Amino acid sequence: MDTKIGSIDACKPTNGDVGSPPSGAVATIHDSAPSVASSEATLGRHLARRLVQAGVTDIFSVPGDFNLTLLDHLIAEPELKNIGCCNELNAGYAADGYARSRGVGACVVTFTVGGLSVLNAIAGAYSENLPVICIVGGPNSNDFGTNRILHHTIGLPDFSQELRCFQTVTCHQAVVNNLEDAHEQIDKAISTALKESKPVYISISCNLAAAPHPTFIRDPVPFSLTPRLSNKMGLEAAVEATLEFLNKAVKPVMVGGVKLRVAKASDAFVDLADASGYAMAVMPSAKGLVPEHHPHFIGTYWGAVSTPFCSEIVESADAYIFAGPIFNDYSSVGYSLLLKKEKAIVVHPDRVTIANGQTFGCVLMSDFFTELAKRVKRNETAYENYHRIFVPEGKPLNCKPKEPLRVNAMFQHIQKMLSSETAVIAETGDSWFNCQKLKLPKGCGFVFNSRYEFQMQYGSIGWSVGATLGYAQAVPEKRVLAFIGDGSFQVTAQDVSTMLRNGQKTIIFLINNGGYTIEVEIHDGPYNVIKNWNYTGLVDAIHNGEGKCWTTKVRYEEELVEAIKTATTEKKDSLCFIEVIVHKDDTSKELLEWGSRVAAANGRPPNPQ
């Protein structure tokens, strides 16, 4: 069947836009065929077609008795592949990773025991502004409103517990327990996820998935996503006020934040950098959203743990444009940023605030930057200052033969692996800081999707295993490099099995330092030491001779070099698992600084009563 969703290119793998269609475009979900066969005119098949039209070609699922019939009808859709996961948490993380590349993701679980298990992953997707469609196989429609007690519940006749839990971590909830409005409910949920760039919850009664209905036979009613438009007068006023502010500045800078992605404003942000000549930096969670090969790119602004010389330029500026920032305790390094609100122009996806005063609503970020670029006065002073003080970074000393491998030496070799054919996923922990220092080559970031992902706002350890599964499934032409600490890996290790089952060729670097290193640097204690596993032995056991898998342990730099060579040549079509054994105290200097400042923020005494 020839189906499409308006400007469907916004959801294909070649475009990582997340959320609503580009400004000015109207996305319409519709079928070009006049009707479907009666055997396909079921609720389950309709949902499957809608998912495909939205850009989902893989669903991540865990079967349970309430969703089995639904899964039958979903996998009957030729363009939809089911990726069976080992647990619901990883299915949710996989949908998160998939949405980061495709622009939308979906997972399917069973009622309550599955729903509450996936809840943590959906909360993470909500915090990261990712449209994940969480589909739950629900109770038989005849059981609603009765006094019956069902299995997979907490033993009460009230079936709303799961729904209530999802209400705080999704932007829309649909409980489909009758066929009359099922079509409308599904369309509204999916379109809301795309429009709001947030997760949604859809519960489908288990006895309805196979049920036919006239609304699934006739031509589906076209469903439009109304494009968001800037208020023209508000846009003009915002631009005028911003120009007045910037033209008084001597050394303005611009800093990109994570909401550049949801606002689809990366191109416009770079256009402004080109026109203005301002020094351009990114916040850590926005790494990969702007091209690092841009001539005025000065690195990552992260307060005391910034790229060398970046914070000095940003914090000494007399005006800074922040595009889509999130200032939380982590991104502000324990609230220690040396910024002044009266110097800041903060641009959110739909509003602009100037100098902690005037706020202009109904102004889209991309429109604002586009208009500003046309009229801004060029000023390269901040970048010239950066160029004057910049001193190239030194390289860490090479490890001596049989000297224990150091993490900083390891990442020198990782840097050489990056290309337009790779993507990087960094787990919560010291991998945040080490991967942040990687320089993304042309094609490894910015173009289509960021090719660099980590979960900074939610920071759930173990996220990267499922996210790697989903991301690699979404972009099979890329080779994902995943950097995971041993403590995080122990949380979600099972779904390496799913990667193998689906023929993925990811390279996982398991950094074994014997514990929760990021927690150690915030507050140490015996609870941060974990039981050591034979990680390569575990992956070998999961492999069990099925699929392509290669594992190795490395303790020395020469072993790492050989392992990388093998993984990128003779084992290039295999999933490669490289366990890197390092000293428990081998951390980046940035983590040491960041951890002490976050600890200070956590340890503030109560305010006097």
Q: What percentage of the chain carries pLDDT values higher than 70?
A: 91
Three-state DSSP string of 346-369: EEECCEEEECCCCEEECCCHHHHH
Instruction: Output phi, psi for 70, to 5 deg.
Output: -60, -45
- What span, in angstroms and rounded, lies between the C-alpha atoms of 20 and 191? 8
The CB-based long-range contact list for 182-189 (8 Å cut-off, 24+ gap) reads: 182/43, 182/46, 182/208, 182/213, 182/215, 183/46, 183/213, 183/215, 183/216, 183/220, 183/221, 186/46, 186/47, 186/50, 187/29, 187/50, 187/223, 189/133
**Closest to 510 in 3D by CA, of 406, 582, 435, 422:** 582
Helices 365-375 & 232-247 angle (0-180, nearest 10): 50
Q: What is the model's pLDDT at position 451?
A: 86
Structure tokens belonging to residue 204:
């489908």
- Look up tokens 């290309």; give the residue: 419
Contact call for residues 70 and 207 (beta carbons, < 8 A): no
Beta bridge pairs of residue 280: 254, 297
Q: Is 252 exposed, middle or buried (0-12, 13-18, 19+ CB in 10 A)?
A: buried
Four-CA torsion 5, 476, 415, 518, nearest 10 degrees: 80
Contact call for residues 3 and 29 (beta carbons, < 8 A): no
When pLDDT is cut at 50, 70 and 90, the band that residue 154 belongs to is confident
Q: Using DSSP bridges, classify how beta strands 27-31 and 223-225 pair: parallel, antiparallel or unpaired.
A: antiparallel
Of 9-18, 239-248, 376-385, give the lowest mean pLDDT range.
9-18
Non-local (6+) Cβ contacts of 394 within 8 A are none
pLDDT for residue 22 is more than 60? no
pLDDT for residue 531 is more than 70? yes
Supply the DSSP symbol for 305.
G
Q: Is 486 annotated as a binding residue?
A: yes
**Closest to 431 in 3D by CA, of 497, 496, 491, 516:** 516
Supply the DSSP symbol for 608.
P
Q: What is the model's pLDDT at position 8?
A: 33
Q: Is 466 annotated as a binding residue?
A: no
- What span, in angstroms and rounded, lies between the C-alpha atoms of 322 and 16? 22
For 484, the enclosing helix (H) or strand (E) is strand 479-485
- What span, in angstroms and rounded, lies between the C-alpha atoms of 80 and 49? 8
Q: What is the model's pLDDT at position 11?
A: 38
**Closest to 584 in 3D by CA, of 524, 534, 509:** 524
The CB-based long-range contact list for 380-383 (8 Å cut-off, 24+ gap) reads: 380/277, 380/278, 380/296, 381/250, 381/251, 381/252, 382/251, 382/252, 382/253, 382/278, 382/279, 382/313, 382/317, 383/277, 383/278, 383/279, 383/296, 383/298
When pLDDT is cut at 50, 70 and 90, the band that residue 25 belongs to is very low
- What span, in angstroms and rounded, lies between the C-alpha atoms of 16 and 38? 35
Structure tokens belonging to residue 310:
């970046």
Structure tokens belonging to residue 343:
């110097």
When pLDDT is cut at 50, 70 and 90, the band that residue 358 belongs to is very high
Q: What is the model's pLDDT at position 222?
A: 52
pLDDT for residue 214 is more than 90? no
- What span, in angstroms and rounded, lies between the C-alpha atoms of 280 and 289? 12
Q: What is the model's pLDDT at position 443?
A: 65
- What span, in angstroms and rounded, lies between the C-alpha atoms of 589 and 277? 32
Q: What is the model's pLDDT at position 91?
A: 98
Supply the DSSP symbol for 303.
G
Q: What is the model's pLDDT at position 146?
A: 86
Q: What is the model's pLDDT at position 436?
A: 94
- What span, in angstroms and rounded, lies between the C-alpha atoms of 435 and 523? 23
Three-state DSSP string of 256-288: ECHHHCCCCCHHHHHHHHHHHCCEEEECHHHCC
When pLDDT is cut at 50, 70 and 90, the band that residue 12 belongs to is very low
The one-letter amino acid code at 195 reads K
DSSP, residue by residue, 40-72? G-BHHHHHHHHHHHHT--EEEE---TTTHHHHH
pLDDT for residue 326 is more than 80? yes
For 241, the enclosing helix (H) or strand (E) is helix 232-247
Structure tokens belonging to residue 129:
């502004």
* Beta carbons within 10 angstroms of residue 565's beta carbon: 12
Structure tokens belonging to residue 84:
């069976």
Buried b / exposed e over 147-185, threshold 16 CB at 10 Å, is: eeebebbeeeeebeebbebbeebbbbbbbbbebeebbeb
When pLDDT is cut at 50, 70 and 90, the band that residue 197 belongs to is very high
pLDDT for residue 373 is more than 90? yes
When pLDDT is cut at 50, 70 and 90, the band that residue 31 belongs to is very low
**CA neighbours closer than 13 Å in the CB half-sphere of residue 266:** 24
Return the higher-pLDDT residue of 31 and 236: 236
- What span, in angstroms and rounded, lies between the C-alpha atoms of 452 and 436? 9
Strands, E assignment, 183-315: 200-205, 223-225, 253-256, 279-282, 297-300
pLDDT tens string 408-458? 999 999 999 999 999 999 999 999 999 999 999 876 544 344 489 999 999
Contact call for residues 289 and 446 (beta carbons, < 8 A): yes
pTM metric for this prediction: 0.92
Mean predicted lDDT score pLDDT of the chain: 91
Instruction: Output phi, psi for 136, to 5 deg.
Output: -120, 130
Q: Is 274 annotated as a binding residue?
A: no
* SS3 of residue 456 by DSSP: coil
